[in-house]
Chains A and B, each alone.
Chain A
Amino acid sequence: MTATKKMKFMVSVFAFAVFAFVLPATSLADLPVPAHIIPPVGEHSGEHVPQPIDFPHDRHVNDMKINCMYCHTYARRSAVAGIPPTSKCMGCHKMIATDKPRIQKLTEYWEKGESPKWKKVHDVPDYVHFSHEKHIRKFVDKADFPVEDVQQVCGLCHGEVKAMTVAEKVKPLNMGFCVRCHEANDGPGDCWKCHK
C-alpha cells in the first residue's frame, strides 16, 4: 500500500509542479484555494450558452453574498447539485426587483406553472457517475471547512462563478482533470467509483 501511496504522491507532486508552471491558474487568481486541497489543474474556454433567462450569478454571489448551496441545495444530499426549484426563486423575487425584465420573465414561468428549460453547462458523459455529495462531504464536512466559503471548493471545478452572469465551463471536466485531482488528493482509484 505504502508503495502505491508514495507513487501516487510523487506523481501528484510532479503533475502539480509541471502544470503549475505550464498553465498559470488565472481563474484561481482571486478565488483562494482551500489549504487542504491540491487543486485539479486544467483550463477550458467554454462558449457562452444562451439560457432562457440569463441568470446573473455575479449579482447573487458577489453582491448578495448568497451561498452556492442555498440555491443548489441538493449538492450535499445527492449526486446532482440540481437547479433550484422555481419556488425558491420566487421566494425572494415575489417582491425583490420585480420591475426587472428577467424577473418578469421568471414570474411568467411561475404563473404558467412551469420551470424554465435550462441548458446544461457542466456536463459529463452518461457513463460517468459524478457525485456532488461525496465531494462536499470530503472537502467541506469532513474537513471542517467553513460552509460559507464553500464557493472556493465548488470553484475548483466550476471556476469563479461569482465573476460570471450565466455559468460558463472553465474547467475541462475530462477524465484527466478528475484523475489528477484524485491522485493528488488521495481520492479513490477504483474505476467503478465513477464508471458503472
Chain B
Amino acid sequence: MMKGVKVNRRSFLKMLGWGGAGTALAGCDMPTTVTLEEGKEEVVSYLSPEEYVIPGVGVWYASTCTQCDAGCGLHGRVREGRALKLEGNPDSPLNNGKSCMMGQSGVQTHYNPDRVTSPMMRKGNSLQAVSWDEAMAELGKQVSSVSGDRFAFVSGSLSGHQSVLTSELLSKVGSKNHFAYETINTSIWQAVSKDLLGDAMPVIRYDKAGVILSFGADFLATWMSPVHNAGEYAKFRQGERGVLVQVEPKMTLTGGNADLWVPAAPGTEGVLALGIANIIVSRGWNKVDVPASVKTELAQYDLNKVEKITGIQGSKIKRIASLLSERGPALVLAGESTVGQAKGYEAASAVMLLNIIMGSVGTTIEPSVSFPENALAAKQGNTSSLKAFAQGLSDSKYDVVFFYNSNPIYSAPEALGVESGLDKVKFKVALTMFPDETALKADLVLPLNSAIEDWGTHVAAYQGGSATMSLQQPLMEPLYKETKGFGDIMIALLSKLDEGYKQFPDYYAYLRTSVKNMPAELTGGALASDESFWNGLLQKGVLKTTGVTGSLTATLAVAKVGTPTDHLDQTSLTLIPSARLGLWDGRHANIPWLQEAPDQISKVVWDSWAEMHPHTAAEMNLKNGDIVKIESKSGSIETQVAITKAIHRGAISVPMGQGHKEYGRYAKQTGANSLSILDPVFDHKTGELATHATQVKVSKTRKNQILIKMGGSDVQMGRSFVRTVSADQLRRTEGGA
C-alpha cells in the first residue's frame, strides 16, 4: 500500500476500462456469466501512467470526509482509477484513522445513481438540461445585476478556502446575507460557554473525566465530532474506568452506553441540573467556592420540587450528585434534548454551572486551540440563521439566492414557510449533487463534483486540542463530464465580477497558489512555496499548525431555567425529532448502506418510526407497527409505532432523516419527516430552533404494517451473548481491558 507518492494530479485519475483487473462482476451464477472464451472482455491500458500506478494494486490517497461538518481526515483506496474504499486518516489528530458509518459511505454518495449530471435551468415550469456556458452566462447576468442586499447565500457549515471564496463572492456582490445553516449543531452550548467561560469551543477532555454527566448530549453519535469523541470515550472507559450518566427523555446512542440512564421529563433537564447543584453546594461538595447569593438562589430548587418537576426519584438525584463529587473529575454536558427548548440557553447555563462548581473548568474542560488563520476557520451552521433567512423570505427581501450543501425545504419546519417563501425569490440557484427538494424548486441547478472528485480545504470547528487544516483532494476523475467542483464554479463566477480571478483556470490553481502564499505560522516554518511542502500536504492530507490557545474564565450565575409548566400540556406528548448517526439530518437518506443499517437503539430499518413507552402505547392500545397520526400545531405526519422502554412516558420520538419528497430512489417516499411538523418555537436568547419543544397529539389510525427491525429477540433468553460484570471490583483492581 503506497500512500500519496509524488503526484502529477491529473494523470493517475484516469479510469481504466472495465475488464482488465477492474471488475468483480457476479462470479458465481450460472455458467453463462463465466467468461472463459477469448475476446469477450475488453482491456485498456494506461496512456502514460506514473511509475507507481500498477493495475491490480490499490493506492491510498489522503483526503477529507465531508459527510458531516466534523471534518475527519480520510484515506481513499484507488485501483484502476476507481475509488473503492474510504478509511480514516491516521495522521488526522481529529479521528486518528477512524471513521463512522457515514464516512464509510462516502463512496456511495459519490457513486450514487441519482446524481445530477448536467446543469439544468427552469424553462417554463420545468427544469431542462442546458450547457455550462448557457448556465454560467445566465448566472453571471443574474449575479452582476442583483443589488447586494437582495442577494443571499444559504449553505451548510463552511470552512477553508470554500469559505474564503464564498465570502469573496458575497463581498464582491456587496451582500451580508450568508446563512450558514445546520439542523444538527451545538450553537447554544457554544453561546453558553462563550458567555460563561469566555470560550465558544472549549476542548472537552473526556479522557480526563472520572464521571461524565451528560444532559442529552449524544457525543458518541451526533454531538460536535462523534468519531473524535468516541476515541476519547474509549480512553475514558479504559484504565481507571469512568462512569457515564445520561439524562434524556429518549435514549440516544450515548444513553445506550451509559452506566445509568435517567429519563427526565422532557424539558426539565435544566431544573434537574440546578437541583443537583443545590444538593452539591448544600452538602459542600463543590470544588469551587460558591457565593452565598448563588447558594440562596439554588436553594429554591430543593429536592422535592425537582423530584416533582423532573419525575425522577430523589434518591437517584442524590446519587448523581454524590457521584459527581466522589468520582471526579466531573464533566457535565448539555445536548439537544436539553437546549432544544424555549429556554434552552438557561438550561445549558444551568448545566455549565455544574461544571463550574465542580471545578471542571480547567481540568476536564480546557481552553480551545483556535486555527491561526481566521479566514480559513470554520463558519458554523446553526438554525437561527435559518430563522433569519425564513424571515427574509417572507419579507421577500431576496432576488437571487444560492443554495449550497443545504436543503431547507426538507429540513426546515413547514411553519417557517420556507417553501412558499421561495416563490417570491426571482432566481434560485442550487449548487448540489442530488435532485433534492430545494434543487427541484430552483431556477438553476449546477451539478457539483462529489467530495471524492473535488478539491477543498477544511478546518474543523471542534478540533479537540489541535489546530489542523485538512486537505481534500480528488481520488478519481469525475464520473460525469458535466459536473464541476464548487470551487471551480465560484472561481468562474468571481472572474466575471473581478479581473483578478481570471488568472486561475480552476479551483486547483487557486488552491495551489494560496497554499504557496501561506504564511509561516500556518506552515510551521516550512517554505510553503516549495513543491515538497505541497507534496507533503498531499501525502499527509493534514496541515498541523501551532494554534492559538485561548483562556477560560468561570462566571457563576444561576440561570432562570424554564420548567415544563411553561409549555407542557399534560394530555399531549413531547415530540423528539432525534438525530441518527447515519441518516444525520436527512442528507444521507439517499445512501443505501445507511438506509439498510439499523438504527443503533431501536434497530428499525428502511423507514421512520415513532418510539413510545409501553405504558403510553398501552393507554392508546397501540402495538408495534400500528400507524399513528402525530399532530402538532404546525402539521401532522403518519408513521408506525415502535414500542420501547428506552423513552420517557411523556415523549414520542420520530427520528429525523426520512420522509423525503424527492432526493433519489432510496430516500424518496420512505417514512415521515419529523422536522416538518416542529412548532416555530425558538430559544429566546440565541434564536435557535427549539427542536424538543413541540407538543403533539397522537391518534391511532386503522392502518398498520409490519415493523421492520433487525433481530428476532430483544432479550438474550439467558444465552450469554453479552455478559455483564459489575464495575466495582474492576475499580478495585485498576481494571479494564
Contact = CB atoms under 8 A, between A and B. Distances in A.
Direct contact of A and B (CB under 8 A): yes
Interface of A: 46-47, 49-50, 74, 77-80, 82-87, 110, 113-127, 168-169, 173-174
Contacts of B45: 82-86, 115-116, 118
Contacts of A84: 45
B17 interface: yes
Contact of A87 (B20, B44, B47, B56): B47
B27 A127 contact: yes
Contacts of B48: 85-87
B23 interface: yes
17 contacts: A47-B39, A74-B56, A78-B21, A82-B45, A82-B55, A84-B45, A86-B48, A113-B47, A117-B43, A118-B42, A118-B43, A119-B40, A120-B19, A120-B42, A123-B38, A124-B36, A125-B35
Given A123-B38, A125-B35, A78 B55 contact: yes
A117 B45 CA distance: 8
A25 to B, nearest CB: 21
A79 B36 contact: no
Contacts of B33: 126
Nearest to A74: B54
B57 A119 contact: no
A119 B38 contact: yes
A117 B24 contact: no
A117 B44 contact: yes
Q: Is the interface of B mostly helix, strand, loop or mixed?
A: loop
A115 B46 contact: yes
A179 B57 CA distance: 26
A82 B49 CA distance: 12
Contact of B26 (A49, A82, A87, A126): A126
Nearest to A115: B45
Contact of A119 (B25, B42, B54, B55): B42
Contacts of B27: 125-127
Contacts of A116: 44-45
Given A114-B47, A125-B27, A79 B21 contact: yes
Given A85-B47, A115-B47, A127 B28 contact: yes
B290 interface: no
Contacts of A174: 36
A120 B54 contact: no
B57 A83 contact: no
A117 B27 CA distance: 23
Contacts of B46: 85-87, 115
Contacts of A120: 19, 38-43
Given A82-B20, A83-B20, A125-B36, 12 more contacts: A78-B54, A80-B55, A82-B54, A82-B56, A86-B47, A115-B47, A116-B44, A118-B44, A119-B41, A119-B43, A125-B27, A126-B23
Contact of B20 (A49, A80, A114, A168): A80
Nearest to A127: B27
Interface string B714-726: 0000000000000
B49 A85 contact: yes
A146 B28 CA distance: 39
Nearest to A77: B54
The 4 closest A-B CB pairs, nearest first, are A87-B48, A127-B27, A83-B45, A49-B39
A47 B39 CA distance: 9
Nearest to A119: B39
